[in-house]
Amino acid sequence: MSELLTTNRKEQLLEVAAKLFKQRGYAATSMRDLAADLGIEAASLYHHIKSKEEILETICFDLASKFSNVIAEVNDIYFNAEEKLRTAIKNHVQIITQNTNQSTVFLHEWRNLSEPKLSEFMKLRDAYEKGIRVILKDGMNEDVFDDVDEKFASLTILSTVNWINEWYKPNGKMSTEEIAQKLSDFILGGLRKKMVTDINYKP
Amino acid sequence: MSELLTTNRKEQLLEVAAKLFKQRGYAATSMRDLAADLGIEAASLYHHIKSKEEILETICFDLASKFSNVIAEVNDIYFNAEEKLRTAIKNHVQIITQNTNQSTVFLHEWRNLSEPKLSEFMKLRDAYEKGIRVILKDGMNEDVFDDVDEKFASLTILSTVNWINEWYKPNGKMSTEEIAQKLSDFILGGLRKKMVTDINYKP
DNA sequence: GACATAACCTAACATGTGTTAGGCAAAATT
DNA sequence: AATTTTGCCTAACACATGTTAGGTTATGTC
């Protein structure tokens, strides 16, 4: 049982840390703050982790690997480009809404990593963005998407799906699926009113 | 001349502070870091400012007032809704690209404000978002925009224009106007290919 | 019942933090 | 020329920081 308890306690520690890092920021959260929230002394934290930065690393890289997994999966299983993009967006939204605290850390606090972890992390981010770009390229090849600057478009899409983290509250009225669909519609359809004579229209 | 020099020195201080706050974050930037970058001692900073937080306040509220001004201006001078939105986006992009360091602080580091300045700041942000929402409402009334959830759409638009700050470099190859136009096209037009039978199309 | 281990504790460390007090030299003002 | 103001300095403060050392207690295993 000891093994299990350790794991649980450490997971709890990481959870609380993510919560505080989101609330106050990494640098502004002290080990004493963290310990107090867990009901223990600051020194006791070091039975579970090696350093403060190790906590940040764990949170950032855990989420990075989740993102890596889903983008690989989407690009592996073949759909048409639009379905691919919709699935990627749905997965992305799911990760963010199911890991609200960790997402904030992943999106904002990673800057506090120091080398070499910092570079390693940025590489993972870039790889994910490239995954999105592949979908866009596919879509343009298949003539389903308009011709756009890939880099520009991928960044804009990421901005849109990442911004959820800024306002999403777990008990809000919109479900993950609803959010994902609205975002997909927005990204794919735009805002301007048009006669729907969409070439690849599906009901 | 003394008056002028004071102002210049203080502006220089605020500029350097914004740069460091962007690079390392507010909490991770010490007064000694800031002083060193200016070539003076930490204690000397207090001849120009009252406290560290006052610096953060000044940066955040200065930029907030710039945003307030331009949104009021756009909603004051009447265009049709699409032109309004395009102008608002252009203004927004301009503020961000012309104040890169301050923008990062405005977008991310404001969390470090303490009450009552924190609430005051959030009110200003909300007011700006409402300004965007007014444009959307106009557009739907004029039947130029599709019917959308205003809150959702305004947040999505803001996410897109704010994300510029994440990748924009002052010496990049895209001009402010280009960025603004591409973003406007993306937001208004979407990604999916369609026969352009836009009801309100203008060349 | 002896032993191992996990989970915590107290105490302390070296260093970094924002800030204040008081002074001094150069520049601006009178 | 005398005086004020500006812009900086040194020294120090009180406190917060991440982390280490070493000890204690409860829990589970043999």
Q: Which member of A27, A145, A193 has the closest CB to residue B144?
A: A193
What CATH number corresponds to the domain at position A27?
1.10.10.60
* Predicted local distance difference test score (pLDDT) of residue A7: 58
Least Cα separation, residue A195 to chain B (angstroms): 6
Query: Could you give the C-alpha distances from A185 to A70, A147, A179, B189, in angstroms and in order?
Result: 20, 18, 10, 11
- pLDDT less than 70: residues of chain A: 1-7, 147, 190-203
Cα A196 to Cα B166: distance, rounded to the nearest angstrom: 34
A55 and A22, same domain (yes or no): no
pLDDT tens profile B152-200: 888 888 988 998 998 888 887 888 988 898 888 878 775 444 444 444 4
Same domain for A82 and A30: no
Q: Say yes or no: A174 and A118 in one domain.
A: yes
Ranges A34-43, B58-67, B75-84, B170-179, most confident: B58-67
pLDDT at B26: 96
Residues B34 and B56 in one domain: no
Q: How far is CA A56 from CA A12, A36, A67, B116, B178, in A?
A: 14, 18, 17, 30, 37
Going by pLDDT thresholds of 50, 70 and 90, the confidence category of residue B2 is very low
Contact between residue A161 and residue A96 where contact means Cβ atoms under 8 Å apart: yes
Report helix, strand or coil for B123: helix
Task: Kindly state whether residues A29 and A66 are assigned to the same domain.
Answer: no
Tell me, rounded to whole angstroms, the distance of Cα B4 from its chain centroid: 28
What's the pLDDT score for residue B201?
45
For chain B, the average pLDDT equals 85
CA dihedral B44→B45→B47→B51, nearest 10 degrees, is -140
> A-chain residues within 8 Å CB-CB of B115?
none
Any CB–CB contact under 8 A between B111 and chain A?
A: yes
Per-residue pLDDT reduced to its tens digit, B107-121: 999 999 999 999 999
Question: B100-108 and B81-98 are packed helices; what angle lies between their axes, rounded to 10 degrees?
Answer: 110
* For range B35-57, the mean pLDDT: 92
Answer yes or no: do B190 and A190 touch at CB < 8 A: yes
Residues A27 and A93 in one domain: no
**How many distinct structural domains can be found in chain B?**
2
What beta strand segments (E) does B46-131 contain?
none
Q: What does the pLDDT read at residue B199?
A: 45
Q: Which residues contact A168 (CB under 8 A, 6 or more apart)?
A: A96, A97, A100, A179
In the Cβ-directed half-sphere of A200, how many Cα atoms lie within 13 Å? Answer: 16
